[in-house]
Structure 1
Amino acid sequence: MADEGDVLTDLNLDSAATGNGADNQPVAGILSQYVKDLSVENPNSPACYQWQSAPNIDLQFNIAAQQINEEVHEVELKVRVSAKVDEGDLYLIELAYAGLIGLRNMPDEHVHAFLYAEAPRLLFPFARRVIADATRDLGFQPLMVDPIDFNGLYLAQLQRRADEEAAAAGDTPPPMGQA
């Protein structure tokens, strides 16, 4: 039986215990998710509702993770959306949507990928809904942010870092046709 306060107790009910009774199967899951911070601005109301120009939407996001204890990390998906037209700013939304992620027996080489690719993928639909509700509540059409390939972005980021490290170390291959 799990110790009281063991936050991952219900994540793996059918886990196979080893011969000595120890549970050593990798387990990961979202324990909780929440809006950590939300800022919604409509600086030019009510005049902005008369503007007819198509808005220019700028969407930016960032991912942060921090360890809470041995088995729990907080992953924070930060989203910033601004909409502007020639006449001025329509709105600005800044959201920090977070989740407590439980990890047990996860190999170290998989933890980083889970926290920066898989966890944001799982949190994103809920952050997307908050953004859509906020734009609707501002009096505009709900902004439905397109799905994001967090795994592809994670792999591209790893490749970019590897390329930068290789270039810094002078390991860049010579241009084609030169030896």
Structure 2
Amino acid sequence: MAEETPGAQDQQQIKMNALTQFVRDLSFENILSQRGGSGEVQPDVQVGVNLDAKKRSTENQYEVIAKLSVSSKNKDSEDALFLLEMEYVGVFHVEGVPEDQLHPFLLIECPRMMFPFIRRIVSDVTRDGGFPPLNLENIDFVQLYRNEIARRQAAAEAEKKETPDA
């Protein structure tokens, strides 16, 4: 018979299942070909990521939304080459995560599971759109989460300074 360590009964096993993942919205504009441009280009790619999570009506189910914006400009002329915008959603069943850790869990661990699929879609769409496939670099979701928390705190502090005490 195995001995239980103190507190082992209190600690609940974390369970996470990806129930589904899908593209909610996708837009790709090949601006270079719309303008009729050609020739040698030196692309400068900018990637923006916004994350959101919300509880679904079913118990222990959450929807995690990754909004991705990828723009590319020619380094020499600053002319736009393409713009890709995508909203990618994952639906997850999550159990055993303490309430105070749920928000970071949803915005760090769930996007980590979604990222390989997002990367593949971006690669395919840019290739099919007439450009070399764009393979996104890994995204540090922990740092992204920390930056968002810091931004929210700074905004809250600025709002406090602007609002006079009653």
TM-score, length of structure 2 as denominator length:
0.76
Match of 1:68 in 2: 56
> What 5-or-longer segments of structure 2 have no aligned partner?
1-11, 162-166
Q: Distance in 2 between matches of 1:169 and 1:88?
A: 41
Q: Determine if contact 1:51/1:87 at 8 Å carries over to the other structure.
A: no
Which residue type is aligned with residue 123 of structure 1? M
Give 1:25 deviation, angstroms. 3.6
Q: Distance in 1 between matches of 2:115 and 2:101?
A: 20
| 2:72 is the alignment partner of 1:83 | yes
Match of 1:13 in 2: none
Kindly indicate whether structure 1 or structure 2 has the higher relative contact order, using CA contacts under 8 Å at least 6 residues apart: 2
| 2:122 is the alignment partner of 1:134 | no
Identical-pair percentage:
37
Which of the pair has more CA radius of gyration? 1
- Alpha-carbon displacement from aligned partner over 1:137-161 (angstroms, at most 9, x marks no partner): 0111111110011012223433555
1:59 corresponds, among 43, 47, 55, to 47
Q: 1:52 to 1:28 in 2, by over 3 A?
A: same
2:93 corresponds, among 95, 102, 106, to 102
Match of 2:7 in 1: none
How much is the aligned-residue C-alpha RMSD, in angstroms? 2.3
Q: Distance in 2 between matches of 1:168 and 1:41?
A: 37
Flag as ranges the 4+ runs of structure 1 deviating above 4 A. 159-170
TM-score, length of structure 1 as denominator length:
0.71
> What 5-or-longer segments of structure 1 have no aligned partner?
1-23, 171-179
Give 1:163 deviation, angstroms. 6.4
| 2:112 is the alignment partner of 1:121 | yes
In the TM superposition, 1:138-153 aligns within 5 A as 138-153=129-144
Which residue type is aligned with residue 109 of structure 1? D
Which residue type is aligned with residue 24 of structure 2? K
Give 1:65 deviation, angstroms. 1.1
